[in-house]
Amino acid sequence: MTSPDKYPLQIADAKGFSIHLMSRQELIEAASADNTWIFVDGQMVGVKELETIELNEATEIRLNPGMIGGF
């Protein structure tokens, strides 16, 4: 971690992922977008969990577009 107020976030995109430093509030806002999934250390978490989860202990935070299944 670079700063106690910012967390490295891997954002999935068409070329793999990019890394952005975000505050907890920015993470919550990003995770609140439609069809977005957020994972902390490989575990999918909800927006409400982001408000209380201990992010200082996290080794990886990822934001992925939600997957849509079907035929």
pTM confidence score: 0.81
Structural domain boundaries of the chain? 7-65
Q: What angle do CA 39, 28, 8 make, to 5 degrees?
A: 60
**24 Cβ contact list (under 8 Å, min separation 6):** 5, 7, 50, 51, 55
Tens of pLDDT, residue by residue over 12-71, are 988 899 999 999 999 999 988 878 899 999 999 999 999 999 998 899 999 998 777 666
Read off the tokens for 62: 């990822």
Model pLDDT, residue 40: 96
**pLDDT at residue 3 in the model:** 57
Q: Are 30 and 37 in contact (CB under 8 A)?
A: no
